[in-house]
Structure formats: structure tokens, C-alpha cells
Amino acid sequence: MSVRGLSGARERRIRTGGIELCVAELGDAARPTVVLVHGYPDSKEVWSEVAARLAERFHVVLYDVRGHGRSTAPKPLRGGFTLEKLTDDFLTVADAVSPDRPVHLVGHDWGSVQCWEFATVGRTEGRIASFTSMSGPSLDHFGHWIKRRMSRPTPRRLGQLLGQGAKSWYVYMLHTPVLPELAWRGPLGKLWPRILQRVEKVPADDYPTASLPQDAAHGAWLYRDNVRARLRRPRTDAHAHVPVQLITPTGDAFLSERLHDDLGAWVPRLTRRTLDAKHWVPRTRPDQLALWIAGFVDAHEEGPARHAGATTAAEPRRRPFEERFGGRLVLVTGAASGIGRATALAFAEAGARVVAVDRDAQGAVRTAESARLAGAAAAWAETVDVSDEQAVEKLAQKVTTEYGTVDVLVNNAGIGLSGPFLATTSDDWRQVLDVNLWGVIHGCRIFGGRMAERGQGGHIVNVASAAAYLPTRTLPAYSTSKAAVLMLSECLRAELAGRDIGVSAVCPGIVNTNITATARFAGVDEIEEKRRQKKSARLYGLRNYPPEKVAEAILRAVARNQAVVPVTPESRGARVLSRLAPGVLRAFARIEPRL
């Protein structure tokens, strides 16, 4: 990997609270400002690779945290590194480099710990457009996380506590007086570059810089001034007032993934991403980080910039479900048309990041374009046949690597098939089961598996149908496929409940979509099939129940974690009858419709 230091950067010194901060800037100052905050033991140079990549498109700002790199240290050191003082520093830097526009924050390790403070205290409101966090939790959230596990211990929770406790060994060490300073200024300081290369696989280049022993010695006060106090008495109002992108390296030796399990309660607009990497991602994965940071900045440049300094602008309209789905990654199958398209757009309106999947490539692209216009934080189109297991697996690999683990999966793709059982061939059966049932199985297994593995919850919606509990002599294959989807959803719901993953089966009645035009009719010739398709399209058109209403029900089902959701009056009626008076439905099932 080539080494691109900060040599081309414009450097200046900014005075604040009795110290001088060394600030470096790259890129065009007229572009959106991205502020990169380094961790421990580090200086701003940890970001050099990421900064060089981002500078092609943004105004990139880095500063040495007080006492680190070429920033001066407070005197005395004790009490000079509190989060309050670090917030003063950030605001001074932000005012100097971007006085009129809010900045996009990015923090790694202790840089992220600080940024959480900036993103959750009132006095920074309007100054931050977005925050990308990696490998550094909020001490307040961490404090509550510990308290919750101590107050209601279960074997699993105790395991989580012990797991994180073991990973925090260095924090206890850093609380001992003098010894850490001696170690860093002595042998540890000399060994550190080799340790980083061997253990963390950080490439051998001009990082870390010569200031390392001093950075590490001063930085011990970051821990001493804040950790014990905050963990003992965490703030109860530490809610993020900015959208947050959380990047979790899965091989982090210092932080457990479980730490972020409760984060949704603190961050209304949360985007989660996982990265197969160790702790020092700014050095080991600069390409991926630059890509994700740039995407997040792009997605939030318009919105928050509009809100920022909004002294005269009217309060922006709150979109329904925005708090619940803003920034979430939502994947919808069969998104090119009908219910799937409406669902993708409803999630987009709520500010989600949407992956529109369909075997109809152009239709998927159209939905993704509309999703962007509707307000999606981001939207992509993917062409996949959901009945093709390998294609779904490939899709999951791509989505996980490029966009993250899916938070909400909507298995909606489906096809219609009408006609009596005795006229339905094995091929007809195979076709309908392949899409309507196997498509759902592949989605649940492949995406649901990754959701479960991530361990941060999620939701799966399977679009079944009223046909799942409404027998008819005209839809034996279709109804069987949908009944199977309903039962699969119920079983999976039971299995995944313990992992915080909800499963909903949504059962629409007659909805005015394109399904009638493409549904097949078994046992008739092509001309008759066309005639029947036209006739049922007319009937569905007369009924005229809009797919947007089903989409609304889907979002509600996720928000409320509902198990089975009949949509449309006829579907609700059939559901009640199927339980109270199934004989009535059986009698209806015998009627032969005239098509």
C-alpha cells in the first residue's frame, strides 16, 4: 500500500483554553467539511490514508487532540482531558474551519469516544451534520450497558460483561499511576510499531509517528479523567442529535460487538456496518472506510445542511417512521412493481437505505431512482431471481460487504398461478413453489442467518396472502405456497425471538397490482389465459385497493413487531372466519368462479 502522508496538508495552530491545537486541512474548503478525530495512542497521522482518499471530494480536517502530536498539552495534565474540554476543542476547530456549515465527524477509538460526546450534548447542535463512529463507544452508553447487565443478570448478560471486561484489561492498567508513562516512554514505545504490524497487520510505513511515546503518556489522562466517572454516573440524556453510521470491525481485540446491542435506543437515525477487520481500520482498510464515509456524507449533506442554522427556515416536516427506519438498511424483493415497489418507496420516505431487488432489472433501477427522490438515505438496484439460491447467496455477500448487514428484509417477490389441482402440472407447481416458497426460504436463511450472526436484531417480513388461510378450488398451488410461507414465518418468529429478530407474515387480500397481468392459469390455452388475465386485472382494478396501503401495513408490522397482518377488509374477514367458522370458508371454497 502506498504511503500518502499529510505532507500536502495546510497546517495551522488554533488557540483554545490555554493550549494550541495543530490543525491540518486538505481538499477544497468550499466542499463539505469532514473532521477526522484520532484515538489512543495516536496522532492525526493515523488518518493519512483515509484523508488522502476523501480529499479528492471533500474538505478534510484533522487535528492532534490536546497533548498529542504537535498540539500542546494542558497544565496540569490531571483534569485537562475531560470530555467537556475536548468538546470545547472540537467546537473551536469547527468554528475555525467551517464557520457557516455543520461538519461531518468521523472518529476512531478515543476519537470516536469523544465524538459520541459531541454528537449527544446540546451545545453542539446544528454544528454536526453526521457522525461516523468506529471502535469507540459512548462512555455513557457503555455505562448504561454495564448497569443493565448488572441489575438484571442472566447467564448470557454475565457472559457479555465478562467478555468485554477481559477485552478492557488495558483500561485498568492505564488507571495505575506513573507505570504506563514509564512503559510507553521506555520499551513499549519502541516495540509498539512492530506490535501493530504483527498483531494488527498494520502495514509497515511511516506510521506511527515519532510522537508516539508522548501521545501515549499524555493520552493516559483521557482514561483517568473520564472513564471511571462516566461509567459510574452515565448521562441519561446521551441521545444522538445527528445521524450516526456505526462501523464495527468484527475482529476488534478491545471492543465486543455486543456493546452496541442497545444502541438503537440512543440513536434514532442509526446505520450499522460491519467490517471483517481488527481494531486499527484507518490503517488497514482505508479504501472501504473512505467509501462508507463518503456515502454517509453524501446522504446527509443535503438534509442536515438544510436544518443547520435553520433560524429562519421552517421546522422540517417529520416523516412517518423516520425515527424507526432512518438510516436502516432495508432489502425488498420483487421491488420493481406493485407491493414491493410501494414498500421500497415507503421505507425510502422514512429515510432508510434501500436495496431494491427484482428479476426485472430495469424495474429495479426505476424503483431505486424513485427511492432516492422519495428521500432514501441511499438506494441501489440489484437484479436477482429469488428462486436461485446461489444468486441470492452472491447478492447477500455483495450487500453485506458493500452496504452492511440488512436490518429489515422484505421477502415479497411472488407470482400467481390459478387453475384446478387436476389441471396443474408438476412444472406449474415447481414454478410457483420455486418463487413463492423457495424464494422466501432462501431470503430468510441467507439474509436472516447474517442478521442473527450480527447479533443486533432486525426484522423479516414475508409477504404471504389471504390465500394462506382461505381455501379455494381455483388457487391450490398458489394458496399452498402462501400457507407454507405463513407457517414458515410463525416457526421462524419463534426461533429468532431470542435474537431480537422479529418475523411478520403480511397477508393482503385483493390488491391492484400487476400480478393479474402476469399470473398464469393452468389447464387453458394461451388465448384463454390472456382473456382470464385481462378479466382478473379488470376485477382487481374495480376493487382498486392500492399497494401503498399494504406498504404502510408492512412498515407498521415491523415497527410493532406484529406476527400475522391481514391487509384489506376481505383478508381480515377471512382470517376471523378461518378461526371462528372455518366451515363457512369451506363452503365458499366449493363455489366455482366464472372467469
Which residues participate in catalysis according to the annotation?
Answer: 478
In this structure, are strands 103-108 and 353-358 parallel, antiparallel, or unpaired?
Answer: unpaired
Which residues are CB-contacts of 390 (< 8 A; sequence separation ≥ 6)?
none
Query: Please, what is the minimum distance in Å from the beta carbon of residue 294 to ligand NAI?
Result: 30
> Minimum distance from CB of 81 to ligand NAI (Å)?
55
Residue 86 vs 415, nearer CB to ligand NAI: 415
Helices (H), 511-568: 515-518, 526-543, 547-560
Within 13 Å, how many C-alpha atoms sit on residue 380's CB side? 15
338 binds ligand NAI per the rule CB under 6 A: yes
Q: Does 412 bind ligand NAI (CB under 6 A)?
A: yes
Phi, psi of 454 (to 5 degrees): -65, -35
Nearer CB in complex with ligand NAI: 294/356: 356
Q: Does 385 bind ligand NAI (CB under 6 A)?
A: yes
Contact 130, 243 (CB under 8 A): yes
For residues 387 and 440, give the distance between their C-alpha atoms in angstroms, rounded to a whole number: 8
Check binding of 443 to ligand NAI (CB under 6 A).
no
Taken in order 282, 288, 292, 298, the sign of the CA dihedral is positive
Q: How far is the CB of 98 from ligand NAI (least distance, A)?
A: 44
Query: Which of 513, 533, 536, 578 contacts ligand NAI by CB under 6 A?
Result: 513
Q: Does 27 bind ligand NAI (CB under 6 A)?
A: no
What is the identity of the amino acid at 135?
S
Applying CB under 6 A, among 475, 511, 553, 558 the residue interacting with ligand NAI is 511
Strands across the sheet containing 378-383: 378-383, 353-358, 329-333, 408-411, 458-463, 501-508, 564-567
Q: Which is nearer to ligand NAI, 54 or 511 (CB)?
A: 511
Which listed residue (9, 299, 352, 386) binds ligand NAI by CB under 6 A? 386
Q: According to the binding rule CB under 6 A, does residue 476 interact with ligand NAI?
A: no
By the rule CB under 6 A, 387 interacts with ligand NAI: yes
Residue with cell 382478473: 536
Q: Verify binding: residue 197, ligand NAI, rule CB under 6 A.
A: no
Residue 514 Cβ, how far from ligand NAI at the closest point, in Å? 4
Grid cell in block for residue 585? 370458508
For helices 110-120 and 212-232, what crossing angle results, to 10°? 40
Q: Does residue 489 interact with ligand NAI by CB under 6 A? A: no
143, 326, 334, 404: residue in contact with ligand NAI (rule CB under 6 A)? 334
Residue 523 region, left (φ>0) first, then alpha (ψ -120 to 50), else beta?
left
> At closest approach, how far in Å is the CB of 423 from ligand NAI?
20
Among the listed ranges 224-232, 286-294, 335-343, 494-502, the one in contact with ligand NAI (CB under 6 A) is 335-343
Residue environment code for 350-363, b if the CB has 16+ CB neighbours within 10 A, otherwise e? bbbbbbbbbbbeeb
Q: How far apart are alpha carbons 342 and 591 in whole angstroms?
A: 33
Contact between 465 and ligand NAI per CB under 6 A: yes
Rank residues 151 and 544 by Cβ distance to ligand NAI and give the closer one: 544
**Interface with ligand NAI: number of residues (CB under 6 A):** 30
In whole angstroms, how close is the CB of 89 to ligand NAI at the nearest point? 52
Nearest approach in angstroms of CB 591 to ligand NAI is 19
Coarse DSSP helix, strand, coil percentages of the chain, rounded to the nearest 5 percent? 50, 15, 35
Binding positions for ligand NAI, rule: CB under 6 A: 333-334, 336-340, 358-360, 363, 385-387, 412-415, 435, 439, 463, 465, 508, 510-511, 513-515, 518, 547
